[in-house]
Structure 1
C-alpha cells in the first residue's frame, strides 16, 4: 500500500512539473496570451491609423479644399491678394 502511495505522489509531482514548466505548459500559455494581447493592441492602433488615412484620402479625392489646405500647410501656398504673415516664437533660454 505504501508503494502505491509513493508512486502516486511521484506521478503527481511529475505531472505538476509538466503542467507548470514543460513545453506547452502553463508558463507558455501565459506568455502566448500576453503576446496575443499585445498583438491585438498593436492591431487596434494600426486600424485607427488606417481609418484616419482612409478618411484623409477620401477627403483629398472628393474636393480641392483639402488639397488647398495641405498646400497651405506644407508648401506655403498664398493666393493672389493674400498677405503672408509669419510669427516667430520668442526664444527662451534655459
Structure 2
C-alpha cells in the first residue's frame, strides 16, 4: 500500500510539474500579464504624446499663427513695419 501511495504521489507531481514550473506555467503567465500591463501604460503615454504632436502638425499645416509664433520665439524674427525693443538687465559695475 505504501508503494502505491508513493507511486501515485510521484505521478501527480510529475503531471503537475509543467503546469507550475514549466515553459507555459502559471508563474510565466503571471509574469507576462504584468509585463503586458506595464506596456499598456507606456502605450497610453505614447498615444497621448502622438495626439499632441498630430495636433501641432495639423495646426502648422492649416494656420499661420503657429508658424508665426515659432518664427518669433525660436528664430527671433519680426514682421515688416514692427519695431523690436530689447530690454537688457542691469549692468554690473565690475564687468566694465
Q: TM-score range by the shorter chain?
A: 0.7 to 0.9
Q: TM-score, normalised by structure 1?
A: 0.75
State the match for 2:85 in structure 1. 83
Could you list the runs of 4 or more consecutive aligned residues of structure 1 that deviate by over 4 angstroms after TM superposition?
none
Q: Does 1:44 align with 2:44?
A: yes
TM-score, structure 2 normalization: 0.74
How many pairs were matched up? 88
Aligned match of 1:33: 33
Larger Rg: 2
Alpha-carbon shift at residue 13 of structure 1 (Å): 1.9
How far residue 87 of structure 1 moved from its aligned partner, in angstroms, is 5.8
Unpaired runs of 5+ in structure 1?
Answer: 89-94
Structure 2's unaligned 5+ residue stretches are 91-96
